Structure 1
Amino acid sequence: MILKDERSYTTEEIARLLKVSKLTVYDLINKGELPAYRVGRQNRIDSIDLENYINSSKNKSMNKRSNTNDTPSDVVRSIKDAVIISGQDITLDILADSIKLEGFKSLRDYNGSLNSLISMYNGKCTIVSTHLFDGDTKEYNIPFIKRILTGHSYMVINLVSRWAGFYVKPGNPKKIKTWEDLTNLNVTIINREKGSGARVLLDEQIRIRNISPKELKGYYNEETNHFSIATAVAQGIADVGIGIEKASKIVDVDFIPLIKESYDLVIIKSEEQSDLIQSLLKILNSSEFKKKINTIDGYDISKTGTVIFETN
């Protein structure tokens, strides 16, 4: 494999290069075997560190074939035994650290809400976060969870509440205030990827207003997180994007609040996960955890730890 020394790679790119899952890459990073650093919300790995890891793995394979600590099956087992938390919000990183302190191994998977629920249905996630707006009921999360996790027993617990709305340029020069304003021919939007909560929010809001995606200029231009959306607006790539309030406090854009969304956690109920569920409820209802969340602008913790819905 030939790598350019000046390059750095995302976890997704590393997974493709090594032909492994993203969770395997996260596990290698958590173990310290693959050095990484943060740029915004993403892990980055320098090409020289990837090259060193590959060479080190080759040497281990040749010199320590009898050492079971280096077998691929152990990596798979390590991931299987871990608590996999899926979602993109910074509060989930705080939760992952708290779960580790309770004696569980935790890994992060940075998937959107809809894709996270589908992964849970397929047994690939332990805890998923959701902020999915249903236009017919005007509810968050429960309608989607009921449809996707059919046949499963689960619990839905509030993590935080937060405002979702429009990112616009300072001063809002295009006077964008409503969902209908997005159809203005002089307005260009930047969209989130399919499966994300922000994308579902937009799609549901235009659906119930009988607005076609084709009426929205820029609808098919996508970014993969709130900060990238806000940055695209700040840089003039788009006039408006949908996201949460927190990103607007970091990027130089104005925020137009539209809806208070419930950002909830879902966990499958089973005898094997009873200890984890108790630890999760303990963490979410602890003053220490709430104090950490409260230090970050843009979150409402008044319902944190509240069980929103639970199957029998």
Structure 2
Amino acid sequence: MKRNIYLMMKPLEEARNIWQARCGNLKIDKELLAVERSMSRITAEPVIARICSPSYHSAAMDGIAVRAESLINASETTPRCLILNNDAVLINTGNPLPHEMDAVIKIEDVCMQSEGISSLQSVEIMTPVVPYQHVRMVGEDIIAGEMILTINHSIRPQDIGAMLAGGVIKIWVKKKPQVIIIPTGDELVPLGEPLKRGQIIEFNSSILKAMVEEWGGEAIIHKIVPDDYQMIKDAVKEAVAKADIVLINAGSSAGSKDYTPQIIRELGELVVHGVTMMPGKPVALGIITEKPVVGIPGYPVSAMLAMEEFVMPVICQSLSMKEKQREKIQAVITQKIASRLGLEEFVRVGVGYFPKRDIPFVAVPQRQGAGIITSMVKADGILRIPRLCEGLEEGSKVDVELLRTKTMIESNVILIGSHDNLLDILANCLCKQYPQMSLCVTNVGSLGGLLSLRRGDCHLTTCHLLDEDTGEYNLPYIKRFLHGMDVSIITLAWREQGLIIQKGNPKNIHVLTDLIRDDIVFINRQKGAGTRILLDYKLKKAGILSNNIRGYETEVFTHMAVCAAIEAGTADTGLGIMASAGVFDMDFIPLTRERYDLVIPGENLSLPGISALLEIINSLEFRIQIASLKGYDLNECGREHGFTSSHSVSLSLLPH
């Protein structure tokens, strides 16, 4: 089969308009549903009250029921004495008003003629009352025959109460749009099955299903269909006959086995194939027997964005609901972002709050691969780069669509710096102790972290930079890059750095000089990382030239990524920390111990999030969890090592 070519590629806004106009004929049936089960459903007809509420005149207060006309002349000088069960009746809130009575006097306004209600036979009243004082009249809330809810109303808890009070037990609601999701691909494996090389867990459908259900639809996941044209075509025909909307996951791009566009064209109408958005460009939009059929890209981030742009509007339109709009804020980006001209790019960002800045929010770009689902997990928001823009400069003002609430984001603690496994433990302890707070970590290396701190793009950084001349960690670099800033340096741990190798050491690696062997492939950390600086220092001392090491130019951003490359067989070894090797059950050759520090500007020490972090660092739970990992020495955990100026930090939360 010929490869697909995006001959019909449309700008995003144009594609949305064409698609929504073409899907306007989608009709959703209605169903009769018990009111108690109708939460968040959409009314298909107006809801009319069957009875009044209340259905009788009732007391609105505890007190006595009386006839208002009998108290017209009551006063302090001429009080009226009422005989109970004759002129007045004791009554509780909600009790029916006796037929001959038309008002209620609160019990606290009644002058007792005895010491207790049980022996009370008469009462004295000193003020007149008006008819129906403290009385809930028939239909005060709801009158039989009046409309309680309109058509196309999304039902809330209070609506359920009003309908039941009005005697409505069942209502007509719009059926949830039925969506069938068809995962395709020879490489896909169902959840729970062991993976072989080249296989992928089929998790996209679970994401799509959850999104459909969040928007008010109902989704069924079809069994995985191999990359076979006829099998996919048969699955689509069967799904179209049963569902309101069909989603075909993967197969919409330009590969030799991407059959979705051709199948849609053969069975119906291919409305759009290819949209100028990234991620999400390969989306295919079609109509088969007047039902929307969408070819969703295979990469998970592409899939999610395509769902939001093209599936959510169809579901909302079919239910007569407004599309959910995200809250937007203005922010300043922390680094230059390149973008391809002609594509509207969706950039996932973390967001930090700095109230002293003119624009208090900063946007920190996250990893941007279309296949990196964790970029959506960790993102606080999304910024869009217009398709006619070639990118954004550092410091540009941008609009960010929030994925979390503004209140939550204002509690973020932004850490940009060097990676270590213990940051995951620190983040988890923070959320456990302070659920409203989050530690948002971006791994850029030690030097990148110091520069980010200098620009004011983060609340704190982490570093482990060895100075070749003095043999001292971090302080010489901090003095150089943060000159004039008041900062506190607080140790998290001393840690073991060394060569990470496969279990059993199959390549017989023992010393640094083994890295220059022809049969050894190395995996390196990025420029500016403390681990990269340490490696170059060790190579220099050993007289090893970096251009003699295969793989020296191949860079990753974390210790865990080094381990992943070794496990995958793309590298034989790399420099990293013992804790990461332990996670992957790999062998480790120690080379040195190094100090891993937090660097915090003095002006940030009083922030609630920073105070919480310092408290956690000194907590027993944090230390116990770190001690369970290999390669850490916590004897100096929480120790303050000095400042770049005269600013002093309160050490009340730090051990001495």
Structure 1 residue aligned with 2:594: 261
| Structure 1 position 18, deviation (Å) | 4.6
The answer to whether structure 1 residue 90 and structure 2 residue 382 are counterparts is: no
- Per-residue CA shift, 1:162-213, capped at 9, x if unaligned? 2110012333344433333323344321111222222121122223444332
Partner secondary structure for residue 115 of structure 1: helix
Structure 2 residue aligned with 1:308: 641
The residue type paired with residue 374 of structure 2 is: N
For residues 632 and 602 of structure 2, what CA distance do their matches in structure 1 show?
27
| Structure 1 position 287, deviation (Å) | 1.4
For residues 412 and 345 of structure 2, what CA distance do their matches in structure 1 show?
21
Which structure has greater helix proportion? 1
Is contact 1:233-1:253 (8 Å) kept?
A: no
Is contact 2:467-2:473 (8 Å) kept?
A: yes
Structure 1 residue aligned with 2:575: 242
For residues 134 and 186 of structure 1, what CA distance do their matches in structure 2 show?
32
The answer to whether structure 1 residue 281 and structure 2 residue 614 are counterparts is: yes
The residue type paired with residue 479 of structure 2 is: K
Given candidates 227, 240, 246, the residue that maps to 2:560 is 227
Sort the Cα spacing of 1:204 and 1:98 in 2 relative to 1 into closer, same or farther, 3 A.
same
Partner secondary structure for residue 165 of structure 1: strand
Partner secondary structure for residue 583 of structure 2: coil
For residues 484 and 573 of structure 2, what CA distance do their matches in structure 1 show?
40
Structure 2 residue aligned with 1:23: 350
Structure 2 residue aligned with 1:151: 484
| Structure 1 position 240, deviation (Å) | 1.8
Sort the Cα spacing of 1:159 and 1:239 in 2 relative to 1 into closer, same or farther, 3 A.
same
Sort the Cα spacing of 1:279 and 1:233 in 2 relative to 1 into closer, same or farther, 3 A.
closer
For residues 260 and 126 of structure 1, what CA distance do their matches in structure 2 show?
27
Partner secondary structure for residue 241 of structure 1: strand
Partner secondary structure for residue 121 of structure 1: helix
For residues 42 and 210 of structure 1, what CA distance do their matches in structure 2 show?
42
For residues 615 and 567 of structure 2, what CA distance do their matches in structure 1 show?
40
Sort the Cα spacing of 1:199 and 1:305 in 2 relative to 1 into closer, same or farther, 3 A.
same
Compute the RMSD of aligned alpha carbons: 3.6
Could you tell me which runs of 5 or more consecutive residues in structure 1 were left unpaired when the two chains were aligned: 26-40, 55-70
The residue type paired with residue 177 of structure 1 is: H
For residues 72 and 240 of structure 1, what CA distance do their matches in structure 2 show?
40
Is contact 1:183-1:215 (8 Å) kept?
A: yes
For residues 516 and 485 of structure 2, what CA distance do their matches in structure 1 show?
40
Given candidates 11, 26, 43, the residue that maps to 2:374 is 43
The percentage of aligned residue pairs carrying the same residue is 34
- Per-residue CA shift, 1:139-175, capped at 9, x if unaligned? 3222222211111110111112221100123333444
Sort the Cα spacing of 1:283 and 1:253 in 2 relative to 1 into closer, same or farther, 3 A.
closer
For residues 307 and 84 of structure 1, what CA distance do their matches in structure 2 show?
21
Is contact 1:134-1:141 (8 Å) kept?
A: yes
Sort the Cα spacing of 1:170 and 1:283 in 2 relative to 1 into closer, same or farther, 3 A.
closer
Larger CA Rg, structure 1 vs 2:
2
Is contact 2:420-2:559 (8 Å) kept?
A: no
- Per-residue CA shift, 1:19-68, capped at 9, x if unaligned? 5462149xxxxxxxxxxxxxxx971549xxx9xx99xxxxxxxxxxxxxx
Partner secondary structure for residue 219 of structure 1: coil
Sort the Cα spacing of 1:288 and 1:231 in 2 relative to 1 into closer, same or farther, 3 A.
closer
For residues 497 and 540 of structure 2, what CA distance do their matches in structure 1 show?
18
For residues 546 and 522 of structure 2, what CA distance do their matches in structure 1 show?
11
The answer to whether structure 1 residue 120 and structure 2 residue 450 are counterparts is: no
Is contact 1:117-1:149 (8 Å) kept?
A: yes
Structure 2 residue aligned with 1:111: 444
Sort the Cα spacing of 1:217 and 1:119 in 2 relative to 1 into closer, same or farther, 3 A.
same
The residue type paired with residue 504 of structure 2 is: G
| Structure 1 position 242, deviation (Å) | 0.7
- TM-score, with length taken from structure 2: 0.37
Structure 1 residue aligned with 2:137: none
- Per-residue CA shift, 1:245-280, capped at 9, x if unaligned? 12222325311011112111110012x533555444
- TM-score, with length taken from structure 1: 0.73
Sort the Cα spacing of 1:275 and 1:81 in 2 relative to 1 into closer, same or farther, 3 A.
closer
Partner secondary structure for residue 490 of structure 2: strand
Sort the Cα spacing of 1:235 and 1:106 in 2 relative to 1 into closer, same or farther, 3 A.
closer
Sort the Cα spacing of 1:194 and 1:264 in 2 relative to 1 into closer, same or farther, 3 A.
same
Partner secondary structure for residue 605 of structure 2: helix
Structure 1 residue aligned with 2:356: none
Is contact 1:234-1:252 (8 Å) kept?
A: no
Is contact 1:85-1:92 (8 Å) kept?
A: no
Is contact 1:230-1:247 (8 Å) kept?
A: yes
Structure 2 residue aligned with 1:213: 546
For residues 120 and 153 of structure 1, what CA distance do their matches in structure 2 show?
11
